[in-house]
Amino acid sequence: MFLSKEEEKILDGEGGWALERAMRLLTTIGDLNDAERLVPIKRSQIAGVSYKTAGGPTLHLVEELAKENVKVRTKATQNPAGMDLERWREMGIPDEFAEKQLRLCRAYEKLGVRATCTCTPYLSGNKPEFGEMVGFSESSAVAFVNSVIGARTNRHGGLDALSAAMIGKVPLMGYLIDENRIGNVHVKVDFKPNSEADYSALGYYVGREVKIDEVPVYDGIRNASLNEVMLLGAASAASGSVALFHILGLTPEAKNVKDAFGGGEAEYTIEVTRRDIESVYDELSTDEEPDLVAIGCPHSSIQELKRAAELLSGRRVKKGVKFWVFTSPEVFREAKKSGYVNRIKSAGGDVFLNTCMVVAPIEEMGFRCVYTNSAKAAFYVPRITRGKCKSGMVPLRKCIEICTTS
């Protein structure tokens, strides 16, 4: 990969060990992927923030970087942490976990990575523009900014996103390049989605069917909301590794068939029927009763909070089960102003920030079964808790019926 004189100096250690290692990681990734050169970025989303998933080695590394006075060169935001940074006691987070989590978030802040702690940075002040190249980690955010905004990012891990933020550059490769953004799988949606969970199940099904680096083009989706597209993208990034998808007539690089497939044809077609969607619900189900019903994977949009508040009207959360919504600080502020937060709380539910049902240590908090409207969350909960917590996926309406009485 071509490096400028300045980049070579960094690689030779002239900027210190931290920048040298960051540059080494980026050039290794670039070389392995035949990148021509590095290109500048102005924005980053950094995963590896929850102490549950990042652990001691990440805490040690980020604290060491902070001691070295390293600063990121991009507008950078943190992914969800393992707890609400203020109300963690109310969530039932163990003290020892909280102490380490707070240290990790503070260390990232010292590097200049804002503690927004959300997987929807594009709803919280870190929204790229169409065509802008960025360095995002967090698979759901990657899928969203690539597909729905038409910005350009590869699917970075936490460490390479942090390295890219420190250097202010990413290797020019993958989804940054025009030809890799062309759709190559035609997804015929042969059923009418009836709920947000149906979109999530659709994404989950398609993510499992396509191969790595393929770009599905959904054909047959009309009028999907922001919330529904967020759920779809997060699910296909979880069950497969879809970093970019198009929806014909809806997303910016798929205004028509010619745009979506770059004037060519799909390599193959997947037809998705109601029966396929039902198979996803069957797979992501359990016979157990939930002790936690949680939505907000990805972090709830204002529309999802509004709908939750409306569905809770005249209902009360039952004893022995909790109803929690996870969202970002900015959306929370808006929801509070609109009265949705108070409506959810007065029905016995709660709204937490900075975390979610997957990256919080829910098994240590005593939960044994989570119901959610997100295929991504239903997929990850049993895996990340090593089977200690079961999961089930049902639409939001049903989530609320299950955990409340009228």
Binding residues (CB under 6 A) for ligand F3S: these are 80, 119, 140, 234, 297-299, 326, 356, 358-359, 376-377, 380
Beta carbon nearer to ligand F3S, 47 or 111: 47
Helix axes 51-67, 95-111, angle to 10 degrees: 40
Least distance from ligand F3S to the Cβ atom of residue 141, Å = 8
Distances (CA, A) of 249 to 22, 179, 256, 283: 40, 20, 6, 31
Helix (H) or strand (E) holding 298: strand 292-300
Question: Residue 346 is encoded by which pair of tokens?
Answer: 């007065």
Beta carbon nearer to ligand F3S, 116 or 140: 140
Beta bridge partners of 295: 325
Q: How many whole angstroms separate alpha carbon 129 and alpha carbon 151? A: 6
Beta carbon nearer to ligand F3S, 133 or 377: 377
Least distance from ligand F3S to the Cβ atom of residue 359, Å = 5
Least distance from ligand F3S to the Cβ atom of residue 155, Å = 13
Least distance from ligand F3S to the Cβ atom of residue 69, Å = 29
Which distant-in-sequence residues (6+ apart) come within 8 Å of 333 by Cβ?
none
Is the Cβ–Cβ distance between 364 and 160 less than 8 Å?
Answer: no
Beta carbon nearer to ligand F3S, 167 or 297: 297
Beta bridge partners of 185: 216, 268
Beta carbon nearer to ligand F3S, 18 or 335: 335
Least distance from ligand F3S to the Cβ atom of residue 380, Å = 6
Least distance from ligand F3S to the Cβ atom of residue 321, Å = 20
Q: What is the DSSP letter of 352?
A: E
Q: How many whole angstroms separate alpha carbon 377 and alpha carbon 294? A: 9
Beta carbon nearer to ligand F3S, 246 or 376: 376
